[in-house]
Structure 1
Amino acid sequence: MTREDHMEIVKVLNNNVVLATDSDGSQVILTGRGLGFQKSAGQRVDPAKIVEVFTPSTREEYVTLRDFLVNISPEYIGVARMIVDAAQAEWQTTFQQALIVALADHLVFAVKRAETGTVTPHPLKGEVSHLFPNEYQMARRSIAMAREVGRLPLSDEDAVAITLHFVNAIAFATNDLSQTFAMTEVLSQVFEVLESAYGREFPTDDINSARFVTHLRYFFSRAASGQQLAEQPRVQRVGP
């Protein structure tokens, strides 16, 4: 008998999402195609239909998950779970379940962009692919899996956003956030110096600032590890 075999429905949220009790009596949110169809409180959950089990720890987390899951197809959750499983196996780690939610949410909007022809090149593709090569390759594999298994028409441009999801998830999984916080503080001070020197504000949310920040993060990472660039930049001669 598995954990799912002992689950009992507490409330049907829609045809694909139910609130249930776990084997130890704790409440969980389950998602799966047809999981709540013609079901009512007190009935057993069909374990074969369960795509994902979410265990909210607070009332606020329950409300957030509930509102998200009732408005998303369980197929997106399934593809996100497949991607997370592959990434965990690749890096021999365990990610927080929030990564599944973040990836599923990204997949929904990525498919909409692809279907409406509104995909645009990501401005940080070059920087991100060089700064996080392993995560970027995993993101490309994720897109291939989503296309082949989930039949989702994702664009190659989605690799950048998925890469950044992995980067954040790895930081939380390893509890290695101190350098990130320190880097954030230094970046804030850099912009203060620039604004003081040039006498104007530099919006941190535009493309130019994003590129600048990415280059600084790359520099900070190399400085912290004591690594230098393998190749020196070429100086182009101008004139005779």
Structure 2
Amino acid sequence: MYRVVKVLNNNVCMAHDKNGVECILVGKGIGFGKRQGDLIKEESVEKVFYVKDTENKIKFSDLMEKVRTDVVGISEEIIAMAEKIKGKKLNEHVHIALADHLAFAIERISMGIDIKNPFIAEIKALYKEDFAIAEKALEMVKERLGIYLPEDEAGFIALHLHAAVENAGLSVTLKNTRLVSLLVSIIEKNLSRKIDRDSLDYLRLVTHLRFAVDRVAKGMEVANELLPTIKRKFKKAYRIAEEVANEIEKELGKKVPEEEKGYLAIHIQRLLPN
């Protein structure tokens, strides 16, 4: 049995477990009609979250003082939904970061300030599952709070979810997304055209760039027996790949292996006119 500390919405409660440890409960209708001190049966609960880190506990407590309870409640439902869909546990810091972000986004919308996400195309392509969850999150906000958040906001929510799943800081996820966007711009400048953001070519390119950046950041190397042939046959593509590699090196402070440049050149070659 759990004892209610605070009802956040009809589906989310703060509670104490049988050992008196504070937790967050998520379950359909578990908060409906409940008051502080009421009991909730374990079988009614779909998800239990614990914020264990001392610093995170302090931050979450502070958050509860500043942010609307219904916003925190929806944030917890989004986290529970994300864990269920992805089949992975999210880093506990997301309980603070996501609610804080949602509250800020809602505040901006209520003040008539547009939310713009310059990396929306990259986020859609790189983090498809997270973006799909984020779109469902926007539907929840609209349905429960009567607040419409734009698609750009789904991109920001997706970044929070991806960072929490990968146990990477949001700043790292955002930095890598920014870098991929910059690399696409470099390629487009050399092609003298924009790449259709809805095309398979674009999806392949940004996916490869994402993993290339990740490999370079981790110091991983790949074998490429075709490198001499690529250099000889795809001269323009390889030159563009070198320019892209230079930008990666500048941003990450790590050397991009020749073999990695070769694979980049193959993807760039597909975008060049025959």
Give the TM-score band, short-chain normalised: 0.5 to 0.7
Distance 1:208 1:163, change over 3 A: closer
- The corresponding residue for 1:232 is 270
Q: By percentage of residues, which structure has more helix?
A: 2
In the TM superposition, structure 1's runs of 4+ consecutive aligned residues that sit over 6 Å from their partners are 29-36, 207-210, 213-217, 225-228
- The corresponding residue for 1:116 is 111
Q: How many residue pairs were aligned? A: 187
Q: So what's the TM-score if we normalise by structure 2? A: 0.53
Q: Which runs of 5+ in 2 are unaligned?
A: 7-12, 26-30, 186-205, 216-221, 223-262
Distance 1:220 1:67, change over 3 A: closer
Q: What is the CA distance between 1:88 and its match in structure 2?
A: 1.8
Which residues in structure 2 correspond to 1:88-99 (within 5 Å)? 88-99=83-94
- The corresponding residue for 1:212 is 182
Q: What is the CA distance between 1:168 and its match in structure 2?
A: 0.7
Which residues in structure 2 correspond to 1:2-17 (within 5 Å)? 2=1, 4-5=2-3
- The corresponding residue for 1:68 is 63
Distance 1:222 1:104, change over 3 A: same
Secondary structure of residue in 1 paired with 2:160: helix
Of all paired residues, the percent bearing the same amino acid is 18
Residue deviations 1:36-60, cap 9 Å, x none?
Answer: 8xx7xxxx35659x9x976443543
Q: Distance in 2 between matches of 1:70 and 1:33?
A: 22
Q: Which runs of 5+ in 1 are unaligned?
A: 13-17, 185-203
Residue type at the aligned position of 1:219: L
Residue deviations 1:86-138, cap 9 Å, x none?
Answer: 22221122223332322211111111111112114211111211122222222
Secondary structure of residue in 2 paired with 1:70: helix
Q: So what's the TM-score if we normalise by structure 1? A: 0.59
C-alpha RMSD of the superposition: 4.3
Of residues 119, 125, 130, the one that matches 1:130 is 125
Q: Distance in 1 between matches of 2:158 and 2:55?
A: 28
CA contact (8 A) 2:98 2:160 kept: yes
Distance 1:112 1:73, change over 3 A: same
